[in-house]
Structure 1
Amino acid sequence: MPAAPPRPIRPLQPSARFSTSTFVRDAGAVAVSEPEDDILDEPKTLPASVQSPFLDPTIIPPEPIKAFRELYDQYRDSNRPEDHEKTIAAYESLTEDPDLLAQLQPIDFMMAMNSCRDRYRVIPRMRRMLDTAIASGHGNIPELYHIILKAYVRLSDFSSCRNLLRLMLRRGIKYNTATYHVMLDLCKHRKNLGEAVQILEQMRRDQVEVTSITYLIMITICARVKNAALALEYFNEMPLLNIEHDVTHYNALLNAYAHSRDLAGASKVMRMMEEDGVPKDEYTYTAMVKALWNSGRKEDAEALVKGLYEARTPPNAQILAANAIEPMEILIRCNKYKVKLSQHDFNMMIIHTLKKNKFSNVPKLIEEMKKHGHGPNNLTFTAMIDADIKMGKYEEARDVFQAMKRANIQPDVIVYSAMISGALSQSTIQESLALLRAMIDDGLLPNLHTFNSLLSSSVGEIGIDGFKTIRETMASLGVRPDQRSFNSFMSAYALGGNLDEMLRSFDDMRRCKVKPDALTYSILISGFLQNGDLRYAMEWYYKMMEGGFKPAVFVLNNLMAALHGSGQGQQVLVMWHEINRMGLRKDEQSFEIVLEACEKYGLDEARPQIEEELKTFLATRFLVEQHSKRAD
């Protein structure tokens, strides 16, 4: 606890009264952050040999169940996927025997579900295990749901996480502290401090226990959004509730000041740790080095790192990275001073290497990772696939994706979305659709961005049936189309000549309370023009104008051409004057259409002025072209 008395605590005023039902309503956008250690508490189910509220020790298990628990204890910390598959196979053999299934306790289902973590097709496996647990009479235990919720968070499937939270409410399962921690972790990933504050207030109203982990997550969220002042208030609030600080809370507060570029605040936290007798760890020094760098004190940061070497406590990879040391140099220094490198350290170095486009160093880092007893995990593969896609190397990304599955590691939403986008730009729409189906089969929910990427394909590539399939898939998964989605649907139907479906999509758009934009009306106008219906095209043009939207010149050109073709020369002039009134920039086609109309329909009075405008247009274009050539 700080030596100085805590600051007065400002009451936290949420913008609106929070309820769990409103929290799980919308998925929202997700901000991808740098990797960090998971700070959520795991269910107290591991190992099976210790006392647990999910195990009744008075019940003597039959030998097969006892053997399953021993197998789990043997492999629970293994890095080898095949070891966990043995545990899962043992569980499945138990469920095939009705007598043994009836004797399984909640901890057995939790052990089986935890054995699936990060394995390929983890979600379908866990969901089947949850269904079996529910059928066995254990469906009211929130901790069973928490394991799946955390899997969704790890896989960046935040929409499915919210859907499962909704399901818990519908089943009457009361949220406990760990449930709220998952909700707060979603806020952490989305950098949504306002919602996190509301969740904390809801915990207090519902008299759900607030723990040191609750405050650690809150302070971490404050750090993410650079709100050091509120982070300090939460830190000071803890002793008032008899919640003790530990080094993680000091480090989180220090990080908040580092992200806020507040070196004075960061230095104050360091002094507080000394006064309170809290030993500093590698995360403390990492945050302090960041604070110095962010404040432009590069020399002081280097001096701090040098001091650690002199004190014979060589800095780890995270501290060196914060001091802007290159990944390969970090590897050399850590090996020289025998500093232990974790899988997280290697992933950090690989990500930084990829960002620097030093791809040739990645195999070396992976080889070193294996020498240190670690293998590539989800984060490793995700970073490599993302880098390949951004560099336009889809074939290489596909190879890494296949290697990921062969390694029995589940691709997450980020990987699938990247692969779908890559296939769209460098392969085929059919491969993108196959990836979408695989993603859904893996139990992951594609987000709106993924669907819109698919819908951006041309009708010739995907076909009308393909668009219908995507639309039906979105509906079945509960993904609501947005403005971009509806415009894609209408454009596809317009190009296919299916005007009834085009109008039905527009009606659906209004029913979903999605506002049309200028492109929406342009699609409707173009759809009717392409099918020779000038009257309806003009009706939608007037509706567009009534809605306050300004059409693009190509829309007006198409309308003028249609009016010209239907013998309405005077209306062509009216449309020409509309272009002038709206201050739109005409193109060569605009002049060509209106001058042809003047000649055909004897509009001699208007012709001289239009020809003068054409001369000005051509002269201006010539000057612009000459200027561009000189600039080149």
Structure 2
Amino acid sequence: MKTRLISPFLTRSRSIKEPISPFCSTPNNNPIKPTSKTQSFEHPKPLNLKTEKPISQDPILTQTHLTKLILSHKNDPNSALQHFKWATRKGVVPENTIGESFLVLVHVLMCSDKHYGAAKKLISKCVLEGLDPGPSEFVSQVVDVAERFQFDQISNSRVVNYLLCSFVRSCRFEDAVVCFRKMVEHNIVPCVSYVHVLLNALVRNNMITEARVLFSEIVRLQISYDCATVRVMIRGCLKEGNVEDAIQYFWDAKKNGVELDAITYSTAIYAVCKKPDAILACALLNEMKEKGWVPSEGTYTNVIGACVKQRCMVDALRLKDEMVSNGVRMNLVVATSLMKGYCVKGDLDSALNLFEKIVDDGLCPNKITYSVLIEGCCNNGDVKKGFELYMRMKNEGIKPNVYNVNSLIIAFFEGGLIDEAKKLFDEAVETGVANVFTYNNLISWLCKEDKVDEACGVLDKMSKDGISPTIVSYNNMILGHCRSGNMDGALDLFNTLQERGFKANVITYSILIDGYFRKGKSNEALAMFDRMVDLGFLPSDYTFNIVINGLCKVGQTSEASLMLKKVVERGFNPTCMTYNSIIDGFVKEGDINSALAVYTDMHEAGVTPNVVTYTSLIHGFCKCKNMDLALKMRNEMRTKGLELDVVSYGALINGFCKVRDIRRAREIFNELYEVGLYPNTAIYNSMISGFRDLDNIEEAVDFHKKMVNEGILCDLPTYTTLIDGLLKAGKIVSASDLYTEMLAKNIVPDDIMYTVLVNGLCNKGQLENARKILEEMDKKSMVPNVVIYNSLIGGYFREGKLQEAFKLHDEMLDRGLVPDDRTYDILVTGKIKGVDSMREGSV
């Protein structure tokens, strides 16, 4: 910093707010000692105080006399010091006190090259033993003595500055701050090196706020500071985790003209990398190189690490090559960072190749290196390689941590390697590595796989092994019961956890609420929600979404919409998923107008619709056969840059098939391929159903063949639709072949399939075969529905077999079925209307 030298120091007409410089501003920031030009001392031979009397024969000696005596030896500091010591022994100067004579002596000694150290020792002893009157009073006394006895500003400044240093070294940091401020008040400029000592001590002792306040005063008062001080302030901010302010100290120092060295740049780069900001770190690194400095190994390591964290692998690799070209060998930290970067990018091969290279080059991988690679293997789907590294790690004497074990167990489960996961779990338990997360991971997976009983066994084992379950453990178990539909089990466990001293949290209640909704028990779900609120739990956004979605799923969409309005007033911020649940609910209830109203509310709330939103609305318009509005929604999606997915295309295709516009349905079907998508089973079923409804069974069969050729699985609706069409077309053999093919694939017929078979066979006079279907249902303990009996009764009436028809009627009653109007229409009037082929229900 550019400042203006001032003289004298203690001139009262001058303000401290002007730019000021320390008395000791030298290139190395060391205090200036007196020179022969400013002070010339002739030191007479010191008195022998044992044989000679140092003072007059006056028997009464006071501190005033002692002060005068010391002043008379101003040019003989050694004699002045000896006189003071003699007077102290004689009791003239009371021990453990600071008097005028002491302060005069200190000033005298400070003026001498040879006695500078003695003055410092006296001040240090005084402060260390707590003999001073306090920092504020001490500084005032020193200044007063300097003025009254006309000591020059240099000695006075030295005394006060070393007093500041002594407070710091005595760990009296608060007193040091008071001393600093009193110095400024008296226009005594703190020495740059002592400013650094004070700030460094505050930072080291975690008095970082005090350090920052003090530094702000230094900057405001334009007191000089150096790059070492800047580094102290950067370190202080980093200690607090305040990266932004740390970097700002560097920029402010640079702006204020402080001469910054390579170490300060490296410190600033370290701070930037903590952020991390790879671009800025590289820019500062380039500045260092432009100034002719070669960045250290540590600096390169930090910048490469920042580049990896921000996925700038090109820059990271370039800097690694640059570091090596500068003669700095790639270290393990850099290598591990690069491996991490490769793994995050999904380039596992490059990470593994680099690992083998550093081993060949003589570097020894450590626990962190192995952990990075094991995690990378697990995340990139190569758990076997991860386990191989785990074994290699153990063979090299490096003990794996629980994080390695947990990563592998999760990856084994996700990869379907259940035995390997359980074996590793058992090993972790046996070796004492397993922690609560290890057990929770196993419990969570077992519950997801509906193996709740086995999960209960793990929970019991957990306690026996000395691992205390957490609320997460119980939440996983409750979730498992809810997913399997065992709400009684979930509720029992909920009560158990509270009996064992655990407190249920919002997640616990949310799981139970969701479980009740999944069972269709909305009253119980809402009661659990009310119980949670009554106990003082604040429902989370996750909870509100569960309740709103649950109400929609059980057909109470209006209640869900009303609840949304209430919770929004309480500060709940609905997401796109929230609105989607309500829109989908209204669509399924056939209330497209209410769905559109929610869509409007969504826009007004500033929530952007997504593909799911538009797909639900397209479904709604297709359901009410309003294909123009469905296409309008499709166009709006495209305008907003949203790409239709397979589900959206499926909704449009199904809609056009329902309105018998098979031409448009085929066009959209072909468009699927053009945009790089492929039809799924549901889309093929829609097309097959569309052709079946138009009595074009040949095209339906062709689509079935195309479906098989593309490797798309045919499901029960596929076979039901085709068999219905074939029977209607009189192709009984083809229908029978398809049915046989279906059974061979272990696809189990349902009520709709049996209805189609009986109805089709009866319509074609195949009553015996139809009757066999009924017998097949009996063997499977399936009760035929009224429509099946109506088809058979009608068939027998057509054949004139009235007795068989009435027998079937009695059989219906015996099975507890209630004949409908059509049954009695056949039996009473003998009129047989065409039987619907169940087209609506077959798909």
Higher relative contact order (CA 8 A, sep 6+): 1
TM-score normalised to structure 2 length: 0.37
Q: Compute the TM-score of the two structures, normalised by the length of structure 1.
A: 0.47
Structure with the greater alpha carbon radius of gyration: 2
